[in-house]
Amino acid sequence: MKTEEIKETQEKLLALLPLWNYRIAKPFKQLLDEGISLEMYYFLQTLRWLGGTMVMSELAPYVQMQKQQMTKIVNRLVELEFIKRIYDTTDRRMIKLQITDKALEYIDYFLKEDAGCFRQMLEGMNETELCDFKKAMDILIRVLPELPCDRKETVRQEE
């Protein structure tokens, strides 16, 4: 029974991806201010969801970036004053990244002012659709962070 459920879930996930991309991700990407890439926004949100302060090695599995790419994003976010580096006084090699109030203000402003296309989409739903969509988002927010972050981890669990 579980194998059939996994197959059905996999098919639904693959069917969902294009819909999510064209109806949610693409319009969202077009809304971002110049200078803030989609990856930078995801990076900020991930850091925020994980408590706002952590070292790059802790954050890396969640953002699934190579060190070089992550360093570029961190440098750009530091330039924009959206994150700051906090150096450990006992070990200079340990550098924590901390989201700044400026970044939190940007995220809040963006959600209130710029993400209007989503508000229009949600307002176009009837009450049942809106309730179902909210429940689906609540479930995804609860389940997705618990999924393995990389392919090696997934393979290990399946063995």
By residue range, what is the domain housing residue 67?
35-100
Residue 158 lies in a domain: no
- Residue 54: burial class (beta carbons within 10 Å; 0-12, 13-18, 19+): middle
- Residues 9, 62: one domain? no
- Residues 48, 80: one domain? yes
Residue 106 lies in a domain: no
> For the segment 68-110, what is each residue's pLDDT rounded down to a tens digit?
888 999 999 999 999 999 988 888 778 899 999 999 998 888 8
Q: At what angle do helices 56-63 and 67-79 cross, to 10 degrees?
A: 110
- From the list 93, 105, 115, the residue with the least C-alpha distance to 30 is 115
Whether 157 has a pLDDT exceeding 50, the answer reads no
Residue 158 confidence class, pLDDT cut points 50, 70, 90: very low
13-17, 22-26, 104-108, 150-154: which has the minimum mean pLDDT? 150-154
| Confidence at residue 153, expressed as pLDDT on a 0 to 100 scale | 42
Residue 22 lies in a domain: yes
CATH number of domain containing 41: 1.10.10.10
Spatial neighbors of 6 by CB under 8 A, at least 6 apart, are none
Over range 111-136, report the average pLDDT.
86
Number of folded domains that form the chain: 3
Residue 154 lies in a domain: no
Q: What is the pTM of this model?
A: 0.68
- Residues 10, 42: one domain? no
